[in-house]
Amino acid sequence: MAIYGYIRVSSMDQNEARQVNALSELGIESDHLFIDKQSGKDFNRPNYQALIKKLKPGDVVYVYSIDRLGRNYEEIQKEWRVLTKENGVDMVVVDMPLLDTRTEKNLMGTFIADLVLQILSFVAQTEREAIKKRQAEGIAAAKARGVKFGRPELELPQEFDEWVKKCESHEVTVKDLCRHFSISKNTYYKYKKRRIPLK
């Protein structure tokens, strides 16, 4: 029997230290911890898939909370069923002792665990949808205030108009202009498109 821990945070800039510390305190070795920095919308995560390939019947997988496993109601239900019932792996959710398949393997214990899992996975998905809604509302409100998203607009170099006019009158080539301003031809055409002609 091997014991593993699975850890997930939603993005690269989030810190997984709290989950790592909690699972390490339970005696899980660092080389048995699998960490993904990715959304919980599905289970197509590289380190989760690497963990699944290692699991054998009788192994145990710890997760700190059910939303660290995933945030899609149906996917969590399906994955839990495959791991515990088809693959014979035990699952332990640290912050919810009722979700520990090593104990109470009778009908009542299984019923309670399944019921708790359904409730928690439903909450996990609901939270994900609420987060997405808040993000969309925040972006819409920022756009309404004039906040611009994406890469900042290119700043036109000084004397750019004069050089464009020289190009148009064939005094210099586009290649000369690009070399002078240290820009690519694509950038030149973007600049030129935004240019307000000199009078």
Is residue 155 helix, strand or coil? coil
Separation of alpha carbons 54 and 33, rounded Å: 12
Chain centre to alpha carbon of residue 21: 21
Structure tokens at 104: 């109470």
Is residue 4 helix, strand or coil? strand
| DSSP calls for 10-60 | SSTTS--HHHHHHHHHTT--GGGEEEEES-SSSS--HHHHHHHHH--TT-E
> Which residues face 139 on adjacent strands?
none
Q: Is 10 a catalytic residue?
A: yes
From the candidates 10, 24, 65, 121, give the one annotated as an active-site residue: 10
Torsion sign across C-alpha atoms 163, 165, 167, 169: negative
Question: Which residues are known catalytic residues?
Answer: 10
